Structure 1
Amino acid sequence: MDREQLIQQVSKKIKLIRVEYRYTQDRMAAILGVSKKTLVQIEKERTLASWTTVVAVCALFLESDVLKGLLGDAPLEIIETIAHNQVDRTEKRIIKGRVWWTTSEERKRFKLQQNVISQHYRIIDELGNRWYSSFDKEATLFRYSQLTKND
């Protein structure tokens, strides 16, 4: 798959992704950073999405069943590989992003962390999988208490 093929395939699925998320055209256009007119043109297959829009769709709708049906479970890996022509991860990073996060609480399965730059919060499991993220501290603490009530 190359860039043009990916653009064509994702462009054809944007409307289905929007419907899957129950978004209006106005909302979807705002999320993707395009005008409603542009979104309508893409959905009616009168024009193709730009590369930037395709990247945004893949990044912002990772959990979309429509997108997974098209690209499997790693749309960002596909985007990254196409953009760079290859991705070589033979050198493992020792820090693996920990420098950007402070852990404020840790239980058996979950960690509550805050990003030192953006100040947003996240909850990750012992494997580093993100379960929740928000700028709202109270909402994050509530979700953390729900996830850890049996720990």
Structure 2
Amino acid sequence: MEKEEFIYLISEKMKLVRVEQSFSQDKMSEILGISKKTLVQIEKRRIDASWTTVVAFCALFNHSQLLIASIGDDPVDFVQLIASNNGGMPKEKTMGGKIWWKEIECSGDFRLQQNLISNHYRILDQYDYRWHSSFNREEGLIRLLELQELENIEIEKGIEE
């Protein structure tokens, strides 16, 4: 998913999340730091939210079930993935991909998964820590092999010592 597609998706969901959270338009515009007029324009789908508004929205409403279900992943993680130009993510604990994820390939203690909603990829270790995220399958497969090679080198070093 490209940045523009993500902005469009979040813009579409803003009204639903506002209603889910029981906020008035006045309160939501105050929370997001935008004018009520701008919020109304977004909700009526006359304009898309700005990238800054989308980032703030995802950060502030990252626990919204509607938002999570729309993306299939933590909204803040998704913003970081887009902002980092599809690069690697910091290592962090995940829930392991029981929902919204399918296994693409396993290699040693690592597995490549694809999100069923957004179609982005991630690599998790056997403890469900995220090592890499990308929109590119080939990039994910290459990183999976690199991680496996590093793991093999560490195992060999341990045997030699």
- Whether TM-score is above 0.5 comes out as yes
Separation in 1 of the partners of 2:28 and 2:48?
16
> 5 Å matches for 1:66-145?
66-89=66-89
Between 1 and 2, higher relative CO (CA 8 Å, sep ≥ 6) is seen in: 2
Q: For residues 78 and 90 of structure 1, do their structure 2 counterparts lie closer, same or farther at Cα, with a shift above 3 Å needed?
A: closer
More displaced stretch, 65-74 vs 45-54: 65-74
CA distance in 1, matches of 2:37, 2:31: 14
| Shift in Å, 1:88 | 2.6
TM-score, normalised with respect to structure 2: 0.54
Q: CA RMSD in A?
A: 1.7
| Matching of residue 13 in structure 1 with residue 20 in structure 2 | no
Q: After superposition, give the CA deviation of every residue in 1:13-43 in whole Å (9 maximum; x if it has no partner).
A: 1000000000000000000010000000000
SS in 2 for 1:30: helix
CA contact (8 A) 1:42 1:49 kept: yes
Moved more, 81-90 or 61-70: 81-90
Q: Would you say the 8 A contact 2:81–2:89 is kept in 1?
A: no
User: 1:87 deviation in Å?
Assistant: 3.8
Pick closer, same or farther for the CA change 1:90–1:43 going to 2, 3 Å. closer
Runs of 4+ residues deviating >3 angstroms? 89-92
Q: 1:42 to 1:88 in 2, by over 3 A?
A: same
Question: How far 1:91 sits from its partner (Å)?
Answer: 7.4
The aligned counterpart of 1:48 is 48
Distance 1:26 1:6 in 2: 24
Q: Helix, strand or coil for the counterpart of 2:73? A: coil
**Within 5 A, what are the aligned runs for 1:54-65?**
54-65=54-65
Q: Which has the higher mean CA deviation after the structures are superposed, 71-80 or 26-35?
A: 71-80
> What displacement does 1:65 show?
1.2
User: Given the superposition, is the C-alpha separation of residues 40 and 86 from structure 1 closer, same or farther in structure 2, using an over 3 Å criterion?
Assistant: same
**% identical equivalent positions:** 51
Q: Deviations over 1:74-115 (max 9, x none)?
A: 1111111111113435779xxxxxxxxxxxxxxxxxxxxxxx
Report the alpha carbon displacement of residue 72 of structure 1 after superposing the two structures with TM: 2.0
Deviation at 1:73, TM superposition (A): 3.3
The number of residues matched between the two structures is 92
Structure 2 segments unaligned to the other structure (5+ residues): 93-161
Distance, in Å, in 1 between the alignment partners of 2:90 and 2:29 is: 38
